[in-house]
Amino acid sequence: MAAGHQRVNLHVNKKYKPSGSKSYVYLLNKYKFTPTKDGPYFVSNKAQTQGKHGEQKAIGGHTTVSRVLKKKLDSNHSGEVPADDQQNDSLYLCPVKIGTPEQTFKLDFDTGSADLWVKMLSLPRFIHQIWSTELPKSTTDKYKGQHSIFDSSKSSTFKRISSTWQISYGDGSTASGDCGTDTINLGGIKINTQCIELAKKLSDQFASGPGDGLLGLAFGAINTVRPTPCKTPVENMIEQSDIPKDAELFTCYLSNYSHPDDAPFFTFGYIDSDALGGKSPYYAPIDNSQGFWQFQSPSAVVAGKTIQRKGNTAIADTGTTLALVDDNLCQAIYQTIPGAKYDSFQQGYIFPSNTAVDKLPDVSFAVGGKQFGVHKEDLGFADAGNGFTYGGIQSCGDLPFDILGDVWLKGSYVVRSPFFPSRYVWLERDRV
């Protein structure tokens, strides 16, 4: 272990209740893809005109078309997606200290985004975001006692900067505000002048989330701060030489519900030898051109049968609970489970809850040239009612890549290095 560095222990969100369809709707919004399987949720185009209109006003402006997520209400009508139809996929939360003196917050560590926001007494947003005192009093009063709120006036190292940020999802939910910089502490590593996004406006979908904000661990290119995107905490700790030159990396170890002594954690600046367990890691190059931890995944194995997926890529995302793959692979997986079927009402595959774990298929996805498996017990994600379970692997719709979230990540110890040669992602063999 590097001097002064320690595990950042993850806390399982005790308020988290798995819901298959709600998690799927969350991903429809996060990645803005169009479903290819039948169900209540779909994407349509919405035209919006801006300009001067009305009597004695010049005619002008322009029209923009955006993709909007909607829900079928009946055979002839559709409407907006209610906040109750989705939930932020914050299964794990991490303690992060911000400011001087330090204020502690539980943040969602998300390798699928690049902002850091907190909920303040004037709200902030994900990636480098937390609850803040800049949020309207009506918002902070509504969720009083549910969140730690960042008060920048109590930090001697906080500095306001002339930047803004805004996040919007396909269902119309938004979060926006201004920014500042402060010192943050991640597992004993102090990062100076880290950009923190402070929310002034927050829709209920964001405000009702279980954590105090979000810390993004993707690449800064997709950070939402304007006019200039901010660097992520990992990029800053590398630039500031907070971690050794030969250990410019962070690692993630997610545990399973059935192993309570197998505590989940992140590390920054070192690889945990206990987690490796004496095994040799596997190396695979990543593609960060879209700002994600993306890698080649040219095949999958289902119940011993190899399925070739030429040209396929995948993203490893700790901010996602499910695993999303193409429709053909989904069908290949669930047709091996007796009684499994696609449920258009829940817009996902379900299978009988009384299916014994040892009767479920072995499923693995390739990382480069090596297969890494899903633990069988994670193939069942949530109760679907009527004696059925919502599957942990679902359709990625028209997305051109897979999204492999916690369902898959629980099976590996993952080491990510943004600046090593070829930008390798390192993964250990599946844990038993």
Q: For the chain, give percent helix, strand, coil, nearest 5.
A: 15, 40, 45
How far apart are the C-alpha atoms of 360 and 376, rounded to whole Å? 6
Q: Which residue has the tokens 């690889």?
A: 271
CA angle 293, 249, 427 (to 5 degrees): 60
How far apart are the C-alpha atoms of 251 and 428, rounded to whole Å? 11
Q: Return the bridge partners of 244, or none.
A: none
Contact 362, 398 (CB under 8 A): no
**How crowded is the C-beta side of 269, counted as CA atoms within 13 Å?**
26
Contact 172, 140 (CB under 8 A): no
Q: Which of 357, 263, 372 is nearest to 316 (CA)?
A: 372
What b/e sequence results for 21-47 when a residue is b if at least 16 CB atoms lie within 10 Å of its CB, and e otherwise?
bbbbbbbbbbbbbebebebbbbbeeee
DSSP string for residues in 81-135: PPGGG-----SEEEEEEETTTTEEEEEEEETT---EEEEEEE---SBEEEEEETS
Active-site residue list: 110, 317
